[in-house]
Amino acid sequence: MPSTNPFTEEGRTRFRNFQRRLLTYFALWLLVGAGIGCAGFWYTTRHSFAPLQRLYFKQYAFSTFKSRLPKKKPSRYSLLVRVITDPTTGKDVVLGCTDEQVEPVLDERGKLLVDKKTGPYFRLKPGWERKLFYWRVTSANDAFVRAWFEQNIYDGKSLLGLFHPFFAIGFFVVFAGTTATVLFDRRINRRYEKGERVRGTCAVTPKEYERENREATGLGLEVFTRKVKA
């Protein structure tokens, strides 16, 4: 039986071979897990996100990244806003709209209407006051915009928080797939060790060789055998 002692040459060789196979299995399942996680997130953004959540996602990612940088120079953002008159001061106040307040305007194919100059078409739902309602391009502090997106558009979830379920799915796929593959690898190697599969060279008596190779035509070499006393 092959040696599994890590202090022997054969044991070290077998351990190194197992390490290579394990790294290969892990790398392959890591790609599979990442692919499944990304596919799940793409499907969610396409089919589960509200209209403004989909439209604002790139700006949310951008504002999250920029807010972590040391320089706090304002960036330009495009936001759907409504203007109302403050009853106390009589001044106009600009408020960002949320998915609860607006609904998209769709064409006959069910796709969002988009104007190249003014942006995607939305309309306010009944009950929401407005003096003006439009897409506003403005320069704003990145940390402020990120916080506004998080609280008003993405239900209090940070950018990483949106990815958490898909990180968990990807991790489970990698862990389960690698574990199952390693168990299968061990099962195959046990069969090798028990002689159920032929691997490498093995020592046989002339009688065993004749019995196992009756139809062999040889390699052009004469082979002489002799009986071995029991």
Q: What would the mean pLDDT of 33-39 be, rounded to a whole number?
A: 82
In this predicted structure, what is the pLDDT of residue 101? Answer: 94
Chain centroid to CA 158: how far? 17
In this predicted structure, what is the pLDDT of residue 87? Answer: 84
- Dist. CA 55–CA 96, nearest whole Å: 14
What is the CB neighbour count within 10 angstroms for residue 225?
A: 10
Task: Write down the H helix ranges in 75-205.
Answer: 142-148, 159-193
pLDDT digits (tens, 9 = 90+) for 17-26: 778 888 888 8
Nearest to 23 by CA among 169, 172, 167, 185: 185
DSSP state of 59: H
Given a cut of 60, whether residue 196 has pLDDT beyond it is no
**Higher-confidence position of 185 and 28:** 28
pLDDT digits (tens, 9 = 90+) for 117-129: 888 999 999 988 8
Burial of 230 (0-12, 13-18, 19+ CB in 10 A): exposed
The rounded percent of the chain whose pLDDT value lies above 90 is: 29
Mean pLDDT lowest for which of 91-95, 135-139, 140-144, 162-166? 162-166
Q: How confident is the model at residue 137 (pLDDT cuts 50, 70, 90)?
A: very high
* Global pTM exceeds 0.75: no
Given a cut of 60, whether residue 200 has pLDDT beyond it is no
Burial of 149 (0-12, 13-18, 19+ CB in 10 A): buried
